[in-house]
Structure 1
Amino acid sequence: MKDQKLIRFDWAIKTILRDKANFDVLEGFLSALLKEDIKVVQLLESESNQDTPRQKFNRVDIMVQDSNQKHMIIEIQNEHEADFLERLLFGTSVVIVDNLEIGQSFSEVKKVISISIQYFNLGRGEDYIYYGSTHFQGVHTKKPLIIKKRYSLTDKKFIFKDRNIEKEIFPEYYLINVERFKDEILSDIDEWIYMLKNETIPNDFKSKNIDKAREKLKLVQMSEPERKAYEKICNQYCS
């Protein structure tokens, strides 16, 4: 039996995956990429989550909870723009500022992870997933800077623990180059990238919740008006 055609994932994020009943699809994709159980709390209603046709293929911000019960914001974007890397930096900065209210302590700054799904070549390289973050190391020793945080046990007792500032504070970036993926399945995230590239999910794929994506993203489930609108926008912006 031929695998059924699916709706593009970036379109789905901006439409049917807004429904809480479909958050399990987003959770499966994010859990596979970040290699831990991720729970979607809500899609953030901000200026970044616009609903104009072109922006349906642009970006969306998602509040999630990781396996340590910590909340963070995931920014997923897809569109190729001029000054793309500068746009990534600006986007994460806006998300951070938008989610810190006046008067709040800087300790309340939300962790942000930026995920870019690219159907274009940003630069030269052989991999299809690239990761970036901020780290500090000695100019001479080349050793990382160890930063500790004070934790109170009682009014008079406290301890210091090392902080993983890359994971706790600074934005992290994942660049997924869909076209470079060779359709070779080596890990859970490869099944999801296969879906991003081919818009199908073979029946033997087994990563978390990918079976939910297979059922919920079927193109045939769209009504005729929905399918026509989808095809019109896709013809304009999916090339």
Structure 2
Amino acid sequence: MNIRSPRKLITFDWAMKRLLRSKANFEILEGFLSELLGEDITILDILESESNKESKLDKFNRVDLKVKNGKDEIIIIEVQYERELDYLQRMLYGTSRVITEHQQEGEPYSKLVKVISVNILYFDLGHGSDYIYHGTTTFVGIHDNDKLQLDIRQQKQYGKMQINHIYPEYYLIRLNNFNSIAKTSLDEWIYFLKNEEIKDEFQAKGIQKAKRSFSILSMSEAEQAAYARYQDDLRYQASLVESNYGLGLREGREAGITEGIEKGIEQGLKKGIEQGIEQGIEQGIERGIERGKLEVAKRLLDKGMSVEEAAEAAGISANMLKRYIVSPDV
């Protein structure tokens, strides 16, 4: 007896680019966000911003949503699905950009919009055993260890009860740490994000509609071909980063050891040979990694990316990439 394999679904990042911007599919994102935040979320609108514009290779997998929560508060949720190594500062930049983009000119600071940043991570970020982390801003006394609170006047002015309700919040979903055992309705969504599969028995809000909408079999041949090209490009970029970073590390270690020994001898007893070797290794590794990033960016340029897109994808500045193109031996 043949056992039918699970129906193949498209990845969530592709769905964000192609499907989830349609009002007909708001129910899917509403379900995911409601399960994550623990309250009913209603999407009011997709906000247009620099982060939502189509790029040449569909690299920017993020969407800004104007939503209403269960307390009828209007907030902005930025959802990102990323495969990048350079990320923590990118999160901070993203929330800051959303705040400034959607602040009306002349409005007082008390009207600043609340932002929640939801980050679906396809790679390892930091050290920790959990697969979902929640970050907020609080102020704690240095001497008394008490938590600073809003007074009555400020609560009325801001319409918030706690200081952390004013500042951006961050959710980090670390897919690699999830053991693929769905114990809760939120776990069912995490299971799909990691495995691109939704089981028939899953009952999380919006997830069965996602199963129907994300089926590859329901796509036209042209859409399937575009999706296949997108996946091939992601694999190619990942391979470039891995191979060039690895090469850069090896070259950096070799060059660093040599440079470290020379510097250690010159400094003599003052700093010692061991310190010179360590410093040389560190500098060599840094140079090797930088070299690897430049090689990645150069190959992305060859595939048709602009200098700015290739530099951002590789985690370097556009000016550094331009100098490397002119003089690659530098």
Q: Does TM-score exceed 0.5, indicating one fold?
A: yes
Q: What is the alpha-carbon root mean square deviation over aligned residues?
A: 2.2
User: Which of 150, 153, 167 is residue 150 of structure 1 equivalent to?
Assistant: 153
CA distance in 1, matches of 2:160, 2:145: 18
CA distance in 1, matches of 2:35, 2:146: 30
The aligned residue for residue 171 of structure 2 is 174
The aligned residue for residue 231 of structure 1 is 228
CA distance in 2, matches of 1:151, 1:83: 37
The aligned residue for residue 81 of structure 2 is 78
Structure with the largest fraction of strand: 1
The aligned residue for residue 36 of structure 1 is 39
Query: Structure 1 residue 91: deviation in Å?
Result: 0.6
Q: Which runs of 4+ in 1 moved over 4 A?
A: none
The aligned residue for residue 164 of structure 1 is 162
Q: Scaled by the length of structure 1, what TM-score is found?
A: 0.91
Unaligned stretches of 5+ in structure 1?
153-157
Matches within 5 A, 1:56-67: 56-67=59-70
Q: Which protein, 1 or 2, shows the higher relative CO under an 8 Å CA cutoff with sep ≥ 6?
A: 1
The count of aligned residue pairs is: 233
Q: Which amino acid aligns with 2:71?
A: N
The answer to whether the 8 Å contact 1:115/1:174 transfers is yes
Q: Which amino acid aligns with 2:102?
A: N
The answer to whether the 8 Å contact 1:14/1:56 transfers is no
The aligned residue for residue 131 of structure 1 is 134
Asked whether 1:14 is paired with 2:17, we answer yes
Q: Deviations over 1:31-84 (max 9, x none)?
A: 010010001111111111021254455211111110011111111112244541
CA distance in 2, matches of 1:149, 1:235: 56
> Aligned with 2:153: secondary structure?
strand
Residues 162 and 99 (structure 1 numbering): CA distance in 2 closer, same or farther, change over 3 Å? Answer: closer
CA distance in 2, matches of 1:133, 1:73: 15
Residues 57 and 103 (structure 1 numbering): CA distance in 2 closer, same or farther, change over 3 Å? Answer: closer
Matches within 5 A, 1:203-222: 203-222=200-219
Q: Deviations over 1:2-34 (max 9, x none)?
A: 321111112111211111011000000000100
Q: Deviations over 1:120-177 (max 9, x none)?
A: 001121111111111011111212112124389xxxxx99x9721212x100001111
The answer to whether the 8 Å contact 1:5/1:218 transfers is yes
Structure with the largest fraction of helix: 2
Q: Which amino acid aligns with 2:22?
A: D
> Aligned with 2:52: secondary structure?
coil
The aligned residue for residue 68 of structure 1 is 71
Larger Rg, first or second structure (1 or 2):
2
The answer to whether the 8 Å contact 2:51/2:60 transfers is no
Unaligned stretches of 5+ in structure 2?
239-330
Is the deviation greater in 1-10 or in 76-85?
Answer: 76-85
Q: Scaled by the length of structure 2, what TM-score is found?
A: 0.67
The answer to whether the 8 Å contact 1:146/1:162 transfers is no
Q: Which amino acid aligns with 1:166?
A: N
Q: Percent identity?
A: 46
Query: Structure 1 residue 186: deviation in Å?
Result: 2.0
Q: Deviations over 1:187-209 (max 9, x none)?
A: 21100010011111000101111
